[in-house]
Amino acid sequence: MSERYARENELVSAESNLYDKAMDVAIALSIVTFVVGMITFADAVPLGATGTELVNFFAALLGVVVGGTGIVAVFSYANVIPITSQRVRGVAMGLLVSAVGLTLAAFVLPVSLATMLGLVMLLEAGLLVAAGVVSRLGLVDTAPSMTAGLLAGVVFGIIGALVGAVIVGSLPGLDAAVPGVPVWLLGAIVLGVGFGALAIVPREDLGSTLPAALIIGLLGVTIATAVIGVGWQWTPENLSGGFTGGSVIPVFVLFGSLLASWSAAKCRADFGARGRQYGAFFVINLNAFLMVAIMAAIVVFVTVKGVGWAFHDFSIGALSLLVVLTPILVLTAQHARAPAGTDEWHSAARQFFRVVPLAAVGSLAALLLGIIVTGTTFEIPYQYAILVDRSTVMLDTAFRVTPSLTVGNLLIIVSGAILFTYFLRRYGSLRNVGTEYERLSLVRQGVPAAVGLLGLLSLVYVVIGPVLDNIGIGPVLGLGVATLGAVVVAAFALVPLGALVTGEGTLAERAHESAQLLNVGLFSGIALLMAVIVLEWTAVSNPQLGPVAPVPVVALVAAVSSLCIAALVARARRSTDDTLRRRVLGDEVTLALAAATGYVTLVGLHVAATSESTFALGPVEVGINGSLSWPTVLQGAIPLGQAPGGIYPAIIGTIWIVIGASLFAVPLGLGAAVFLTEYAEQGRFTELVEIATNALWSTPSIVFGLFGAAFLIPRLGNSLSLLAAQLTLSFMLLPLVLITSREAIKSVPDEYRDASAALGVDRWTTIRSVVIPAAMPGVVTGVILGVGRIAGETAPLILVLGSEIDATTAVDVLGGFAFTTTPPFITNEALLGSSAALPTQVWGIITAGVSGSPSKGWATAFMLLVVVLSFYAVGITARTYFRRKINYE
């Protein structure tokens, strides 16, 4: 699009004269009044504010404007965000002028905010009239058309009719001039036609300013003279509600300023085709901004309301936070390495923006280290509301970061696995690099065999473990093999380090030469240790050599050794200029880092596998119970305690519902999509299915609820049940999966299929190896977005799952399976029972009336929003990622 309108940039950057500047001020003034209108509509500032209160308000507004325009001005001056458009500059200047002017006016004039807004609207009307007249008299160089156009005429006619109806209707003592016709109708007709004519008949410069100015002036006079004042009220007889000054004045202001901004924007761009474009774009842009603002407002509002309760009694150890921070640190480092911004940017500024996140993470890490070193707890105390006996009680609580050095093994496993995958993906290959030692090939063959043997042994333990225990060799064998494995792993981890440190040549040469050693040593070590840990798990043993547990110690030693290797190779890489060698060494660094994170992950896995409570190394502990305490997410409701507990059952319930619905819907929908697109003949049948699925997708969710409640529940034990909820939601998810999968499969180009067929590949292999992989991104994105929608669905759930609000225990689906000798042979009490869920809990709080705790409701809504929006964030990110990948390839 942009090339077509290249000249536009010249136009908007043209020098502006006095008329242009005045119009910029008018636009800015209408923006300011619009914002103030919004603020007063939400009742953030009373309309009756006078004196100091009013001055303070406008001074705050001035501060905001100065801050906003100031930072943009600085960036523009520094050439980071060069702003060449005179229009933008003009509006910024206008904002400053209006904010200063309003503050001064509030200081000088002894009026209320409402009167002030009325006066400002009168001023806007004056400016518009002046602009129109000046242009009509030819004092400025504009390009108006003959008329403002039919569209503007019709719109002004409608507005005029409304104004006429209200004015004439509310004037007392006017009798019907024509019998049988109400006066307000006459007024509407007269003013409607009048305004329409005023817009259409004169030349455009008058036609698009005069009627607008008249309306704005009229609204302004009404407000300024307090005909509709702050205390004004009007309750029509036949309506249940009525209107107050507090709601009508802001509506007038919002409407008036919208009209003024449109008209002023037209004037600014010299009327004609360009003026209309500027005016229309102004309104369209404002609308888009409003939409985003609404979205942001909802999310922020729920967060602000819910975050206090959601984080009550939250505390976490500083070391655990550091562990969480490491993946983020690596990601920000990656961000800092990648080129960012556009070329026109000042290069220093680009570098600055690239490193800002990294610096932020670094300083956060330093803070956490400070907490650990000084041993002081970081606390943000605050209060939150709970409901006790139907009355609100405020409780003291705090958000704490403790200097605890205990880390939960789950945190370590998750963070470590993320990093391991990340580094492994970045690692290229070291094939055919460096010296190939003879013994290495032996190791290459030996390690898989050893891993296989260990796996077999684990299997033996699973099957006949008790027997082995009975004859007494169980523990001994497990212990011996595991210890032996650990020792071998230690060798694998230390030998490459030794090869790096000793030997001939420079460090870089040695690193290059021992590439194979590194490759084999690190990978074999991880694989072997993993097998050993699996053995520990199945043999239920935790080998101890005196006070030392060999497996985690070896893992730690290996991790440290890998880190050392990474550091040494990185140093060697700095010292060499050979491009090829730099590349090889870079790969080695990545490999060593991957190994280090892998070994750390294994420490966490070891703790999980041996179910020993902790593995301690000095003050640092890795335990099954970490230092995280988060009652909202980790506890059920506590019925009679002082603390309210949490919403763990609801979270678990929602997770199971989502999992169950996806298990039913995704395979079915995907399979049907493959059949309909790849096998079935495209014709009546496929079209019918498509229309039916689309119709089903837009069917109200409550209808699915009706079906689930009346059809499924009687067949599933006649009580509210989790299984019924899962099935009902899967019926809702099914059409979406089908539709998105079909779209994705259809959008795979036919060339792919033809090329595959030309190679003699049969249909199914083509589908499996060509079509589905190519369609996968679309399918995955569609499913994620659909699941996000399902997670927040409420209406069907209240019919099939109930709406419990104070659940104390979560459903135990995995533990609920039981085998019976009578049909149906497998039962699951948990699946056939009711459960709490996040959305139904919010509904339960609404219907509970006074016994529902609003603060708990906000917290539940907040957690629900977090769950749903994270699905959306993942889905949208995945889509953007895949789309970029496809477009750039």
Question: Where in 816-845 is the site for other proteins (CB under 8 A)?
Answer: 822-826, 839, 842-843, 845
Residues 6+ apart with CB under 8 A from 279: 208, 262, 263, 265, 266, 269
Q: Which is nearer to other proteins, 498 or 714 (CB)?
A: 714
Interacting positions 301-340 with other proteins (CB under 8 A): 301-302
Of 74, 150, 634, 846, the one binding other proteins (CB under 8 A) is 846
> What is the side-by-side order of every strand in the sheet holding 391-402?
315-317, 391-402, 378-388
Please give, one letter per residue, the 3-state secondary structure of 447-504: HHHHHHHHHHHHHHHHHHHHHHHHCCCHHHHHHHHHHHHHHHHHHHHHHHHHHHHCCC
Q: Which is nearer to other proteins, 538 or 730 (CB)?
A: 730
CB of 704 to other proteins, least distance (A): 7
CB of 786 to other proteins, least distance (A): 11
Q: Which one, of 198, 191, 196, lies nearest residue 165 by Cα?
A: 191
Q: What residue type is 221 in one-letter code?
A: V
In 267-310 the beta strands, taken as DSSP E runs, fall at none
Of 435, 505, 880, 886, the one binding other proteins (CB under 8 A) is 880
Q: What residue type is 581 in one-letter code?
A: R
Q: Which is nearer to other proteins, 329 or 863 (CB)?
A: 863
Task: Supply 677's token pair.
Answer: 């697109």
Query: According to the binding rule CB under 8 A, does residue 295 interact with other proteins?
Result: yes
Q: Which is nearer to other proteins, 239 or 758 (CB)?
A: 239
CB of 278 to other proteins, least distance (A): 8
Q: What residue type is 546 in one-letter code?
A: G
Q: Which is nearer to other proteins, 107 or 675 (CB)?
A: 675
The answer to whether 878 touches 788, Cβ cutoff 8 Å, is: no
Please state, in angstroms and rounded to a whole number, the distance separating the CA atoms of residues 16 and 88: 11
Instruction: Identify the residue whose tokens are 């003026």.
Output: 275
Please state, in angstroms and rounded to a whole number, the distance separating the CA atoms of residues 751 and 757: 10
Task: Supply 225's token pair.
Answer: 């003279």
CB of 49 to other proteins, least distance (A): 17
Q: Which is nearer to other proteins, 502 or 820 (CB)?
A: 820
CB of 755 to other proteins, least distance (A): 19
Interacting positions 739-798 with other proteins (CB under 8 A): 762-765, 767-768, 785, 788-789, 791-795, 798
Query: According to the binding rule CB under 8 A, does residue 567 interact with other proteins?
Result: no
Interacting positions 687-726 with other proteins (CB under 8 A): 689, 691-707, 709-711, 715
CB of 504 to other proteins, least distance (A): 55
User: What stretch of H or E contains 394?
Assistant: strand 391-402
CB of 648 to other proteins, least distance (A): 19
Is residue 623 classed as helix, strand or coil in its secondary structure? Answer: strand
Stretch that binds other proteins, among 139-147, 276-284, 469-477, 543-551 (CB under 8 A): 276-284
Of 35, 133, 668, 874, the one binding other proteins (CB under 8 A) is 668
Residues 6+ apart with CB under 8 A from 126: 213, 217
Please state, in angstroms and rounded to a whole number, the distance separating the CA atoms of residues 358 and 113: 46
Query: According to the binding rule CB under 8 A, does residue 255 interact with other proteins?
Result: no
Q: Which is nearer to other proteins, 280 or 328 (CB)?
A: 280
Query: According to the binding rule CB under 8 A, does residue 144 interact with other proteins?
Result: no
Query: According to the binding rule CB under 8 A, does residue 1 interact with other proteins?
Result: yes
Of 498, 671, 714, 815, the one binding other proteins (CB under 8 A) is 671
Query: According to the binding rule CB under 8 A, does residue 6 interact with other proteins?
Result: no
The answer to whether 739 touches 696, Cβ cutoff 8 Å, is: no
Of 73, 97, 167, 299, the one binding other proteins (CB under 8 A) is 299
Of 90, 94, 246, 525, the one binding other proteins (CB under 8 A) is 246
CB of 820 to other proteins, least distance (A): 10
CB of 261 to other proteins, least distance (A): 14
Stretch that binds other proteins, among 61-69, 378-386, 470-478, 864-872 (CB under 8 A): 864-872
Query: According to the binding rule CB under 8 A, does residue 854 interact with other proteins?
Result: yes
CB of 853 to other proteins, least distance (A): 11
Give the CA distances from residue 550 to residues 318, 533, 621, in Å, rounded to whole numbers and listed in that order: 27, 11, 16
Query: According to the binding rule CB under 8 A, does residue 393 interact with other proteins?
Result: no
Neighbours of 438 (CB within 10 A): 7
* Site pattern 626..665 for other proteins (x: CB under 8 A): ----------------------------------------
Total residues in contact with other proteins, by rule CB under 8 A: 113
Q: Which one, of 628, 648, 659, lies nearest residue 859 by Cα?
A: 648
Q: Which is nearer to other proteins, 423 or 704 (CB)?
A: 704
Query: According to the binding rule CB under 8 A, does residue 861 interact with other proteins?
Result: yes
CB of 738 to other proteins, least distance (A): 6
Interacting positions 351-380 with other proteins (CB under 8 A): none
Residue 706 C-beta-side C-alpha neighbours within 13 Å: 5
CB of 315 to other proteins, least distance (A): 28
Q: Give per-residue burial for 64-93: e unless 16+ CB within 10 Å, then b.
A: ebeeebeebbeebeeebeeeeebbebbbbb
Of 232, 243, 352, 752, the one binding other proteins (CB under 8 A) is 243
Residues in the chain: 889
CB of 674 to other proteins, least distance (A): 5
Task: Supply 707's token pair.
Answer: 């079906």
Q: Which is nearer to other proteins, 372 or 830 (CB)?
A: 830
Please state, in angstroms and rounded to a whole number, the distance separating the CA atoms of residues 530 and 451: 9
Q: Which is nearer to other proteins, 337 or 763 (CB)?
A: 763
Interacting positions 15-54 with other proteins (CB under 8 A): 43
User: What stretch of H or E contains 833?
Assistant: none
Query: According to the binding rule CB under 8 A, does residue 669 interact with other proteins?
Result: yes
Q: Which is nearer to other proteins, 238 or 579 (CB)?
A: 238
Q: What residue type is 408 in one-letter code?
A: G
Of 56, 247, 303, 828, the one binding other proteins (CB under 8 A) is 247
Q: Which is nearer to other proteins, 5 or 77 (CB)?
A: 5
DSSP characters for 208-270? TTHHHHHHHHHHHHHHHTTTT-TT-EE--TTSSS-EEHHHHHHHHHHHHHHHHHHHHHHHHTT
Stretch that binds other proteins, among 124-132, 284-292, 451-459, 536-544 (CB under 8 A): 284-292
Please state, in angstroms and rounded to a whole number, the distance separating the CA atoms of residues 411 and 364: 18
Which pairing describes strands 817-819 and 826-828: parallel, antiparallel, or unpaired? Answer: antiparallel
Residues 6+ apart with CB under 8 A from 757: 766
Of 137, 292, 758, 850, the one binding other proteins (CB under 8 A) is 292
Q: Which is nearer to other proteins, 546 or 849 (CB)?
A: 849
The answer to whether 205 touches 135, Cβ cutoff 8 Å, is: yes
